[in-house]
Amino acid sequence: MKKIIFITTLIFGFSTNKAQTQVADFENFLLSPNSAYSNSLSLPFQSAGASFQYKWGGNYWSGGFSYTNKYDSATAGFTNLYGVKPLKGYNNSNVYTVAQDGGVINLSAPSNTVQGFYITNTTYAYKSMKLGDAFAKKFGGVSGNDPDFFKVTVKGFKNGILINDSVSFYLADFRFANNSLDYIVDTWQWVNTSTLGNIDSLKFFMYSSDIGNFGINTPLFFAMDNFTNTSSTVGLNEQADVLNFSVFPNPFSNNLSLSLNSISELTTIVISDVTGKIVCSSQLNQLNTTINLDELQEGIYFLELMNGTHKSVKKIIKN
């Protein structure tokens, strides 16, 4: 099915479109050494136009997000809730956040596009999957052939309604026929969420192949840093000159076609994989074109179309 993406170029009247991209790197939060955010009233914390939900369970952190400067990449078990496998935050930063399954981020501006964030495994989850523990299995099992996985799925909401699209990232994946490809993430990786479009909140859902009688056995924790949010407030007197384009087929096998209704200036196409690595780039100076992508491996990619100062991203799938 063809899906139309709209790129809006504003024609200014008496008002202007005020857009601002902010990065929540959490470095401005003051913490004592080796500590974490704690609030017995379950108050959220705010950064970069976003409010990070926090839940207090009486005498412990019971849900949502907490920022921390606890550095422990070695200690296994539930006593180490805040440590991450890379030891510190993205790019060796001092403060990062740790999150639990079901965590919510509320966005403050009327119009938001979350560009993405960096993610990695907590030490607790990593050690559990790598070695197994009293509650959870070692991923791959004794033979190494068990098709285990651990993933985070991000879903967006607009006006309290769940949108159709979602973004998933595998923190561990042992489903490959070749066991040498199995992995557990131990570095910071970029997650592109711009494909969710205009939203006012995000919710994070965690899934694992290791399920017991009481639910998922794998510790449902992940870490986040450099949450990047673009917010805008549109003036009442603005008008829109809309440029639309379509990509098809999607999913595709070898060739992907693009069709635009008009071109006013040179357009750049960039295709990247789920880690953010650019795998293809080209320039488009005609309304219709076909790109041969037979060298790409099967999987999910992101096609970014840039025209002047405007851009839009679409998720594409090769099968």
Q: Which of 233, 248, 274 is the last residue of a domain?
A: 233
The answer to whether residues 195 and 132 belong to one domain is: yes
Do residues 203 and 193 make contact, with C-beta atoms less than 8 angstroms apart?
no
The C-alpha atoms of residue 151 and residue 175 are separated, in whole angstroms, by 12
Angle CA(58)–CA(62)–CA(63) in degrees, nearest 5?
140
The pLDDT of residue 216: 97
Give the whole-angstrom CA distance, residue 3 versus residue 8: 16
User: Taking 70 as the threshold, does the pLDDT of residue 209 lie above it?
Assistant: yes
pLDDT tens-digit map of 72-130: 999 999 999 999 999 999 999 999 999 999 999 999 877 789 999 999 999 999 999 99
Q: Do 213 and 251 reside in the same domain of the chain?
A: no
Confidence of residue 167 (pLDDT cuts 50, 70, 90): very high
Please tell me the number of Cα atoms within 13 Å of 280 on its side-chain side.
18
- Structural domain count of the chain: 2
CATH code, domain with 249 = 2.60.40.3080
Same domain? 90 vs 229 = yes
- Which of 233, 266, 292 is where one domain is finished? 233
Which residue segment(s) compose the domain that 305 sits in? 3-14+236-318
CATH of the domain at 157: 2.60.120.1350
**Same-domain pairing of 60 and 197:** yes
Per-residue pLDDT band for 14 (boundaries 50, 70, 90) equals very low
pLDDT single digits (tens) 250-296 = 899 999 888 876 665 567 787 887 666 778 877 777 778 888 998 89
pLDDT score at 112: 87
pLDDT tens digits, 178-206: 999 999 999 999 999 999 998 999 999 99
Is 174 in a helix, a strand, or coil? coil
Same domain, 164 and 114: yes
Based on the fold, state whether residues 300 and 220 are members of the same structural domain: no
Does 221 share its domain with 113?
yes
- Of 195, 235, 173, 168, whose CA–CA distance to 113 is shortest? 195
What are phi and psi for residue 121, nearest 5 degrees? Answer: -85, 145
- In this structure, the answer to whether residues 278 and 309 fall within a common structural domain is yes
Answer whether residue 313 shows pLDDT above 80: no
Cα 277 to its chain centre, rounded Å, is 15
Cα–Cα distance, 269 to 264 (Å, whole number): 15
Domain boundary among 206, 233, 260: 233
Residues making up the chain, counted from first to last: 319
